[in-house]
Structure 1
Amino acid sequence: MGKDNRILNGVKFLVLSVILVLYLFPFFLVLINSFKERKEILSNPLGLPPALNLSNYIYAFTKMNYIRGFSNSLVITVFSVFLIVLLSSMTAYIFVRKKWKVNQFMFFFMVASMIIPFQGIMIPLVKIYGSINMMNSKWALIYMYVGFGASLAVFMFHGFIKSIPLELEEAATIDGCSQLQTFFKIVFPLLKPVTATISILDILWIWNDFLLPYLVLMVPEERTLPLSVFYFYGTYTIEYGPAMAALVLATMPVIVVYLLRQKQIIEGVLKGSIK
């Protein structure tokens, strides 16, 4: 039995190692080519760079206006995730605790809306918001992200809140807490695992999103980092080296945050899945 377990563990380790390599290979390919000149990339894209040439990074940092793009992405991501978590948790709480008939219909409507693909409504959405002069604004984009992200967040919060004993809220009410105080002091702290899960999913989605900002933010001053990477893709030519460097610069903040907070992220995801 001990030998069989060692063989099984060895096979699992080998399979997981292969999967890890497959996942990391695209990023590795982008990273090594970000230090090469154009002719080196075209002649040998899989080879290691002859030297750590930072000229692509300096050029990309300047041309894409990295600081401005980073600040735009940060503002959009932080405000969008904050509003999605806050509003969705309060909505799910009302759906669970208030036995109104309209709540069942509204909850079903929000869950059903998750099956509608964004590509099916993006043209009418852009036309409507363009007609009321809400384009070229990061705040309009935040409003859209809240609308698109609320359904999944409400669905996840709804299932989690149902598992919280009602007696905890009744005890808080007896102690003199209002319903709003009960939610923020009793219920919301217990939602930490699912809140972490939703925040992770939404941060990755909003930070890396390209299509919706591309449709809404047409002014260069409002562009996010993924849109700034598009500077290096022309109609007839592509600046391969700077484009690779720009991709690394755009994804680096998320990677740094994950490396610094990986323990809390993994703990939140595991607790949310177990619950």
Structure 2
Amino acid sequence: MSTKTYNARLLLLELVGVLLAILFLFPFYFLIVNSFKEFKDIVANTASFPDTFRWSNYSDAWTIMNYPRAFMNSLVITVISIIGIVLFSSMSSYWMVRHPTKLNQLLFGLFVAAMVIPFQAVMIPLVKLGGMISWGDLTMMSSRWGIIVCYFGFGIPLSVFLYHGYIKSVPLEIEEAAVVDGCSVFGVFWKIVFPLLKPMTVTVILLNSLWIWNDFLLPLLWINTPDLRTIPLSTYSFFGQYMKKWDLALPALIMGAAPIIIFFLALQKHIIEGITAGSVKG
């Protein structure tokens, strides 16, 4: 009797799971199907399957948004930002964990407190401050390095919090043995500790990559030069005040989301492992 009850319950849960999966995947159907339609067909019947596939939508969107340049801008900003976030967060977290002084505890508390401050609360002062900072011809506004510095500031607090919890799980005896063998502080970190942080490092890379690649508000406020537009900004060019070019915007959305989706699917198995380990240790 208990086996039959368990099987029936399991079947019900599987049906609910399938229905939820269909519900969440349904918007992707609209996105993909309508990306091959003419504008009039999208307006007339959004849910219908296209009679003929307009592959020219993708080529037109590719040309108008200058996809190669937008892709390169997004790639450069994302990669450099991720490298900086990983380096600064891992090293500072390691130092705060291994040297639990009152100052380091205060710094960690400030990092955690920074996580609860919404971007909308600081975006106006940030833009004003960025407009005043310049070194000769090099300015923060409308520059790659300026927006990368901003991503450092917004991405490091969460990364420090994750690394801080995970580093507590690294046995101190391993580091002490390396020091006895003559290894320096930097050698202990880079040769011993940092390789052990791989699950958390992958988690930090994935979470920040998803955020930076898809971010729209900060590039909209920061970048005023067409040559520096990221993919979200280039996609936004299809949405005007009086007209929305859905036949071109939908292919642009797919081309913009495809690289980060592939990247996420390739490394997603590390997310649960890293977040779970970092949240329960210590």
Q: Distance in 2 between matches of 1:174 and 1:154?
A: 28
Q: Which residue of 1 aligns with 2:168?
A: 162
The Cα of 1:131 is off from its aligned counterpart by 1.6
Task: Give the AA of the match of 1:35.
Answer: F
Q: Distance in 2 between matches of 1:213 and 1:273?
A: 28
Are positions 1:51 and 2:57 aligned together? no
Between 146-155 and 25-34, report the one with greater CA deviation.
Answer: 25-34
Q: Across the two proteins, how many residue pairs are aligned to each other?
A: 271
Q: Cα deviation per residue 1:92-147 (whole Å; 9 max; x = unaligned)? A: 00110113221011110110111110000000000110122310101111110011
Q: Which residue of 2 aligns with 1:13?
A: 14
Secondary structure of the corresponding residue to residue 232 of structure 1: coil
Query: Does structure 1 conserve the Cα–Cα contact (< 8 Å) formed by 2:115 and 2:158?
Result: yes
Are positions 1:144 and 2:146 aligned together? no
The Cα of 1:273 is off from its aligned counterpart by 3.5
Task: Give the AA of the match of 1:272.
Answer: G
Q: Distance in 2 between matches of 1:113 and 1:194?
A: 20
Q: Distance in 2 between matches of 1:98 and 1:54?
A: 59
The Cα of 1:159 is off from its aligned counterpart by 0.5
Q: Which residue of 2 aligns with 1:239?
A: 245
Between 247-256 and 166-175, report the one with greater CA deviation.
Answer: 247-256
Q: Cα deviation per residue 1:148-167 (whole Å; 9 max; x = unaligned)? A: 00000000100111111111
State the 4+ residue runs in structure 1 displaced beyond 4 angstroms. Answer: none
Identical columns (%): 48
Q: Which residue of 2 aligns with 1:265?
A: 268
Query: Does structure 1 conserve the Cα–Cα contact (< 8 Å) formed by 2:36 and 2:53?
Result: yes
Q: Distance in 2 between matches of 1:206 and 1:189?
A: 25
The Cα of 1:202 is off from its aligned counterpart by 0.6
After TM superposition, the structure 1 = structure 2 runs for residues 64-143 of structure 1, keeping only pairs within 5 Å, are: 64-132=65-133, 133-143=139-149
Query: Does structure 1 conserve the Cα–Cα contact (< 8 Å) formed by 2:58 and 2:248?
Result: yes
The Cα of 1:258 is off from its aligned counterpart by 3.2
Task: Give the AA of the match of 1:125.
Answer: L
Q: Distance in 1 between matches of 2:276 and 2:153?
A: 27
User: Which of 189, 201, 204 is 1:183 aligned to?
Assistant: 189
User: Which of 209, 222, 225 is 1:203 aligned to?
Assistant: 209
Secondary structure of the corresponding residue to residue 126 of structure 1: helix
Q: Distance in 1 between matches of 2:86 and 2:13?
A: 37
Secondary structure of the corresponding residue to residue 268 of structure 2: helix
Q: Distance in 1 between matches of 2:196 and 2:251?
A: 42
Q: Distance in 1 between matches of 2:272 and 2:238?
A: 39
* Structure 2, gaps ≥5 residues long: 134-138, 278-282
Q: Distance in 2 between matches of 1:211 and 1:71?
A: 19
The Cα of 1:15 is off from its aligned counterpart by 1.6
Q: Distance in 2 between matches of 1:85 and 1:253?
A: 21
Cα RMSD of the aligned pairs, angstroms, is 1.1
Q: Cα deviation per residue 1:150-198 (whole Å; 9 max; x = unaligned)? A: 0000001001111111111000101111010100111111111111111
Q: Distance in 2 between matches of 1:271 and 1:257?
A: 17
Query: Does structure 1 conserve the Cα–Cα contact (< 8 Å) formed by 2:162 and 2:275?
Result: no
Task: Give the AA of the match of 1:52.
Answer: F
Secondary structure of the corresponding residue to residue 121 of structure 1: helix
Query: Does structure 1 conserve the Cα–Cα contact (< 8 Å) formed by 2:81 and 2:151?
Result: yes
Q: Which residue of 2 aligns with 1:218?
A: 224
Secondary structure of the corresponding residue to residue 91 of structure 1: helix
Q: Distance in 1 between matches of 2:264 and 2:117?
A: 30
Task: Give the AA of the match of 2:183.
Answer: C
Task: Give the AA of the match of 1:62.
Answer: T
Q: Distance in 1 between matches of 2:165 and 2:264?
A: 26
Task: Give the AA of the match of 1:193.
Answer: P
Secondary structure of the corresponding residue to residue 237 of structure 2: helix
Task: Give the AA of the match of 1:245.
Answer: P
Q: TM-score, normalised by structure 1?
A: 0.96
Task: Give the AA of the match of 1:5.
Answer: Y
Q: Distance in 2 between matches of 1:38 and 1:273?
A: 43
Q: Distance in 1 between matches of 2:31 and 2:16?
A: 24
Q: Distance in 1 between matches of 2:174 and 2:88?
A: 22
